[in-house]
Amino acid sequence: MRVSNLLVPTLREVPAEAEVISHQLLLRAGFMRKAAAGVYTLLPLAWRVILKIERIIREEMDRQGGQEIMMPIIQPAELWQESGRWDVYGPELFRFKDRHGRDFCLGPTHEEIITTLVKGEINSYKQLPLLLYQIQNKYRDERRPRFGLMRGREFIMKDLYSFDRDEAGLDASYNKMYEAYTNVFRRCGLQFRPVVADSGAIGGSDTHEFMVLAESGEATVLYCADEKCGYAANQERAEAVHSLASNIDVPGELQKVSTPGCRSVSEVTEYLNVPPEKVIKTVIYTTDKENVAVMIRGDREINEIKLYNVLGCVRLDLADEQTVRGVTGAPVGYAGPVGLNGVKLVADSEVMSLVNAVCGANEKEQHLVNVNPQRDTKPDLITDIRLVKAGEPCPQCGAELLEAKGIEVGQVFKLGTKYSKALGGTFLDESGKARPFVMGCYGIGVTRTMAAAVEQNYDERGIIWPVQIAPYHVIVVPVSSKDQNLMQAAETIYNDLNDAGVETVIDDRPERAGVKFNDADLVGYPLRVTVGSKGLANGQVELYMRRNGETVLVPQDDVVNAVK
Ligand code: ATP
Ligand code: MG
Ligand code: MG
Ligand code: MG
């Protein structure tokens, strides 16, 4: 490719609206342009980077047995109503009506579509496990789209969904994806760290986020100073663990009350006479190693943070081997993910799948504990939960916790049977019994990964692409476009490199050498071959390495070997 033909509109000035480095540099270096808030056009160089990231992702997904498909972006509301998410997803969901007045949304994620698909096509345990994925645009009407590709409203995501017959199968699929993600981000040349993440689930391994460590990261990662320990968590998650470790008391006296009719949280709320639409959220934690308490809370909106009052509590007896373990491995149980400002809660059906997971299939006796029949008292439980900070002891080993900012580039998540149950996705097991699929979902932000790569690879002159995802490997720069001899030598090198499979551009523009060098540094080509008359007189050209600024002279007819 010739730079004279390449659409790479570099800018001298730092665009005013761009707060973070990747946003600034991707605009300045001519990789993208904004179409609307959080919506971008990717120009040729950016698209090449995206295709390379996608290729790495495809290879790693396929290696683990993933099969690529393409699902629709337009999704019918009915599926979302069936899963219960039409009402709970909130304003992030782009909704619209067709000409007949039917409701639709633009897919922010695809659990509903894929569960419905698999439900229709897979009927036997013999067809499992099944790993299906796609790489596609996602739509989320983010409250604050910002930082360019980092938090867009339209962005590219790889999403894979696993379908297994049981928890053991899910564990295996999850581990495969964990490994695939580790390979993907390593191959993209990124410094990253998998961390235990906020989820709505039990135990320490039900979801991990893959964090690229960078100052501009919106997430706070807490990690143990002792590398051997290896504890690392999203701060939200660490808070939950800490609050458990510091033994938050269940308010009021726990009292077993026999409730022969109550078999689920919704039945308990009915018993408590709480309108179901008020009890949208719950939080779970253990009071001791044998019991899980499910707190049912009513909502009370305070600004944007919902606080929940304790309305009631279900107590579930657990057998010893079903003791719930926190990320520390200690039997601390699980608290619903705890947000900065209070309790972030999981949906009712999620809680029920947790409860089922904890209790096992052979339903254990359940008891109702009527903690607090008067609503709207004891909201102070929420304020007991505090922010965990760096400097505090690691919940796993007691060493110091350190803090870093992270960009969430991917997440692996055990869904369990939440969607298969809600949408009726079942298969027949060996004994001919219908069972719900045990599912996992796994996302990688492709466009965000590109931005994160820039956050980790730049200097004051511009981007420094890791070779694996660089738009091109080499730029050939003839220092004068008037010298025919020199241009001819540059053309030869350019052709030889391309013929040898090295992705190469030539800056054939009638610009001053300084302008070409600046643009090449800004764009971030890993290698520059400078063709000047002085060197040519000795049969030599200069090889310049963008990352460390080092230069070496190489014979003009040996550039291909020198580059490789
Ligand atoms: P965040 O916490 O940043 O809002 P998320 O947890 O909502 O992200 P997931 O639902 O886990 O995102 O989606 C999988 C991946 O998609 C994320 O790990 C991230 O890399 C990417 N992603 C999510 N939202 C955006 C967005 N608005 N713009 C770009 N990439 C995104
Ligand atoms: Mg989000
Ligand atoms: Mg997140
Ligand atoms: Mg996530």
Q: What is the Å distance from ligand 4's center to 199 Cα?
A: 9
Ligand 1 atom at minimal distance to the Cα of residue 209: 18
pLDDT (mean) for 150-177? 97
Binned at pLDDT 50, 70 and 90, residue 484 comes out as very high
Q: What is the Å distance from ligand 1's center to 411 Cα?
A: 8
Among 181, 206, 408, say which to mutate for ligand 1: greatest number of ligand atoms within 8 Å of CB. 408
Q: Who surrounds ion ligand 3 at CB < 5 A? A: 408
Q: Are 208 and 231 contacting, i.e. CB atoms less than 8 angstroms apart?
A: no
Query: Which residues sit opposite 288 in a β-bridge?
Result: 291
What's the confidence (pLDDT) of residue 326? 26
157 lines ligand 1 (CB under 6 A): yes
Q: Is the pLDDT score of 244 beyond 70? A: no
pLDDT (mean) for 524-547? 96
Q: What is the Å distance from ligand 2's center to 419 Cα?
A: 19
Cβ-proximal residues to 50 (8 Å cutoff; 6+ apart), any chain:
42, 156, 446, 447, 450
Ligand 1 atom at minimal distance to the Cα of residue 449: 20
535 lines ligand 1 (CB under 6 A): no
What's the confidence (pLDDT) of residue 557? 92
What's the confidence (pLDDT) of residue 86? 87
pLDDT (mean) for 337-359? 32
Cβ-proximal residues to 539 (8 Å cutoff; 6+ apart), any chain:
555, 556, 557
Q: For 266-286, write each residue's pLDDT tens digit.
A: 555 566 555 554 443 333 433
| DSSP for residue 460 | T
Ligand 1 atom at minimal distance to the Cα of residue 444: 15
Length of the chain measured in residues = 564
Q: Who surrounds ion ligand 4 at CB < 5 A? A: 411
526 lines ligand 1 (CB under 6 A): no
> How far is the C-alpha of 542 from the C-alpha of 255, rounded, in Å?
81
192 lines ligand 1 (CB under 6 A): no
3-state secondary structure of 368: strand
Query: Which residues sit opposite 342 in a β-bridge?
Result: 339
User: How confident is the prediction for the chain on average, in pLDDT?
Assistant: 78
- Which two tokens mark 113? 């579509």
Share of the chain above pLDDT 70, in %: 71
Q: Is the pLDDT score of 353 beyond 90? A: no
Q: What is the Å distance from ligand 4's center to 337 Cα?
A: 13
Output the residue whose Cα is nearest ligand 1's atom 4.
151
Ligand number nearest to the C-alpha of 443? 1
CA dihedral 546, 552, 554, 559 (to 10 degrees): -20
Q: Are 201 and 176 contacting, i.e. CB atoms less than 8 angstroms apart?
A: no
- Structure-model confidence comparison of residues 36 and 251, the more confident one: 36
pLDDT (mean) for 411-416? 92
- Which two tokens mark 514? 């300084």
Q: Are 36 and 540 contacting, i.e. CB atoms less than 8 angstroms apart?
A: no
Q: For 429-452, write each residue's pLDDT tens digit.
A: 999 999 999 999 999 999 999 999
CA distances from 16 to 13, 25, 31, 463 (A): 9, 12, 17, 18
Which amino acid makes up residue 245?
A
Question: Of 18, 130, 94, 51, which Cα lies nearest the Cα of 438?
Answer: 130
- Structure-model confidence comparison of residues 307 and 86, the more confident one: 86
Share of the chain above pLDDT 90, in %: 61
pLDDT (mean) for 50-62? 98
Binned at pLDDT 50, 70 and 90, residue 418 comes out as confident
Q: Is the pLDDT score of 247 beyond 70? A: no
What's the confidence (pLDDT) of residue 235? 79
If you write DSSP's letter for every residue of 194-258 in order, what string do you get? Answer: EEE---SSSSSSSEEEEEEE-TT-SEEEEEESSTTT--EEEHHHHHHHHHHHTTPPPSS----EE
Q: Is the pLDDT score of 204 beyond 50? A: no
pLDDT (mean) for 441-469? 97
Ligand number nearest to the C-alpha of 441? 1
Q: What is the Å distance from ligand 3's center to 528 Cα?
A: 38
Binned at pLDDT 50, 70 and 90, residue 336 comes out as very low
Ligand number nearest to the C-alpha of 210? 1
Q: Among the listed ranges 136-150, 173-187, 339-353, 463-477, which one has the minimum average pLDDT value? A: 339-353
Q: Are 498 and 559 contacting, i.e. CB atoms less than 8 angstroms apart?
A: no
155 lines ligand 1 (CB under 6 A): yes
What's the confidence (pLDDT) of residue 391? 85
pLDDT (mean) for 183-204? 76
- The 3-class SS string of 169-180 reads HHHHHHHHHHHH
Q: For 357-399, write each residue's pLDDT tens digit.
A: 333 322 332 222 242 222 222 222 222 233 467 888 787 788 9
409 lines ligand 1 (CB under 6 A): yes
Q: What is the Å distance from ligand 4's center to 209 Cα?
A: 7
What's the confidence (pLDDT) of residue 266? 54
- The 3-class SS string of 117-140 reads HHHHHCCEHHHCCEEEEEEEEEEC
pLDDT (mean) for 79-95? 88
141 lines ligand 1 (CB under 6 A): no
Q: Is the pLDDT score of 287 beyond 80? A: no
| DSSP for residue 2 | B
Place of tokens 């143990």: 224
Output the residue whose Cα is nearest ligand 1's atom 23.
445
Binned at pLDDT 50, 70 and 90, residue 298 comes out as very low
